[in-house]
Amino acid sequence: MPTTPPTTGPAPGQKVYFVSLGCPKNQVDTELMLGQVRAAGHVLVDDPEGADVIVVNTCAFIDAAKEESVDTILEMAEHKKTGTAKLVVTGCLAQRSATELATEIPEIDHILGSSDFMSIRAALDAPARVKVKGKRKALPMVHVTETPAYIYDHDAPRVRVGRRHSAYVKIAEGCDRPCSFCIIPALRGPQRSRGIADIAAEARALAAEGVREINLIAQDLTRYGWDAGSTPESRATLAQLLRELGKVEELRWIRLHYTFPSAFDDELIDVIASEPRIAKYVDVPLQHASDAMLKRMRRGHSARVSRELVERLRAKMPDVVIRTTFIVGHPGETDAEFRELADFVREMKLDRAGAFTYSIESNTVSAVLPGRVPAEVAAARRDELMEIQRQVSRAKHEAMVGREIEVLVDGVSDESDLVLEGRWYGQAPEIDGKVYLALGEDDPPAPGTFVRAKVTQASDYDLAASLDLNAPIADQDD
pTM: predicted TM-score of the whole model, two decimal places: 0.91
Within-domain flag for 157 = no
Residue at 412: amino acid letter: V
Within-domain flag for 79 = yes
Measured CA to CA, the distance from residue 181 to residue 327 in angstroms comes to 10
Within-domain flag for 475 = no
User: Three-state DSSP class for 477?
Assistant: coil
Beta strands in 329-417 (DSSP E): 352-357, 404-412
Listed residues 378, 398, 418: the one ending a domain: 398
Measured CA to CA, the distance from residue 305 to residue 43 in angstroms comes to 51
Burial of 182 (0-12, 13-18, 19+ CB in 10 A): buried
Q: What is the CATH number of the domain that holds 102?
A: 3.40.50.12160
pLDDT digits (tens, 9 = 90+) for 184-215: 999 999 999 999 999 999 999 999 999 999 99
Residue at 297: amino acid letter: M
Same domain, residue pair 320 and 447:
no
Strand 15-20 with 53-58, pairing: parallel
Same domain, residue pair 409 and 325:
no
Listed residues 398, 418, 443: the one ending a domain: 398
Q: pLDDT class for 347, splitting at 50, 70, 90?
A: very high
Q: What is the CATH number of the domain that holds 409?
A: 2.40.50.140
| pLDDT value, residue 235 | 87
Mean pLDDT, all residues of the chain = 91
Within-domain flag for 186 = yes
Same domain, residue pair 325 and 291:
yes
Q: Is the pLDDT of residue 3 over 70?
A: no
Of 123, 120, 70, 124, nearest in space to 92 by CA: 70
pLDDT digits (tens, 9 = 90+) for 77-124: 999 998 888 999 999 999 999 999 998 999 999 999 999 999 999 999
Same domain, residue pair 262 and 342:
yes
Tell me the β-bridge partners of 450: 408
Measured CA distances, 109 to 32, 90, 129, 243 (Å): 21, 11, 5, 46
Of 239, 335, 321, 322, nearest in space to 286 by CA: 322
Q: What is the CATH number of the domain that holds 274?
A: 3.80.30.20
Please state the rounded mean pLDDT for residues 133-159.
83
What one-character DSSP code corresponds to residue 448? T
Measured CA to CA, the distance from residue 274 to residue 268 in angstroms comes to 10
Please state the rounded mean pLDDT for residues 280-300.
97
Please state the rounded mean pLDDT for residues 454-469.
90
Listed residues 374, 398, 422: the one ending a domain: 398
| pLDDT value, residue 378 | 98
Tell me the β-bridge partners of 287: 326
Structural domain of 103: 15-143
User: In terms of pLDDT, which residue wins out, 290 or 140?
Assistant: 290
| pLDDT value, residue 7 | 33
Measured CA to CA, the distance from residue 56 to residue 112 in angstroms comes to 10
Measured CA to CA, the distance from residue 8 to residue 477 in angstroms comes to 59
Same domain, residue pair 124 and 25:
yes
3 state SS for 62-124: CHHHHHHHHHHHHHHHHHHHHCCCEEEEEEHHHHHHHHHHHHHCCCCCEEECCCCHHHHHHHH
Same domain, residue pair 299 and 343:
yes
Side-chain half-sphere CA neighbours of 314 within 13 A: 13
Same domain, residue pair 59 and 202:
no
In which element (H, E) is residue 217 found?
A: strand 213-217
Within-domain flag for 368 = yes
Within-domain flag for 160 = no
Q: pLDDT class for 137, splitting at 50, 70, 90?
A: low
Same domain, residue pair 386 and 425:
no
pLDDT digits (tens, 9 = 90+) for 328-344: 999 999 999 999 999 99
Measured CA to CA, the distance from residue 306 to residue 322 in angstroms comes to 12
Same domain, residue pair 410 and 388:
no
Measured CA to CA, the distance from residue 406 to residue 27 in angstroms comes to 27
Q: Is the pLDDT of residue 134 over 80?
A: no
pLDDT digits (tens, 9 = 90+) for 369-426: 999 999 999 999 999 999 999 999 999 999 999 999 999 999 998 888 889 999 999 9
Q: Is the pLDDT of residue 476 over 80?
A: no
In which element (H, E) is residue 421 found?
A: strand 419-423
Within-domain flag for 72 = yes
The sheet with strand 278-283 has its strands ordered as 166-170, 213-217, 253-256, 278-283, 321-328, 352-357
Q: pLDDT class for 4, splitting at 50, 70, 90?
A: very low
Evaluate the CA torsion angle 397, 402, 407, 413 in order and state its sign: positive
Measured CA distances, 335 to 19, 301, 371 (Å): 40, 21, 12
Same domain, residue pair 390 and 427:
no
Same domain, residue pair 45 and 104:
yes
How many structural domains is the chain composed of? 3
Q: Is the pLDDT of residue 469 over 80?
A: no
Same domain, residue pair 343 and 231:
yes
**Could you please report the per-residue DSSP string of 241-252?**
HHHHHTT-TT--
Maximal CA-CA distance, the chain: 73
Residue at 304: amino acid letter: R
Residue at 420: amino acid letter: L
Radius of gyration of the chain (CA): 23
| pLDDT value, residue 84 | 84
Please state the rounded mean pLDDT for residues 361-371.
93
Within-domain flag for 154 = no
Please state the rounded mean pLDDT for residues 306-332.
97
- Cβ neighbors of 278 (< 8 A, separation 6 or more) are 242, 246, 254, 256, 271, 272
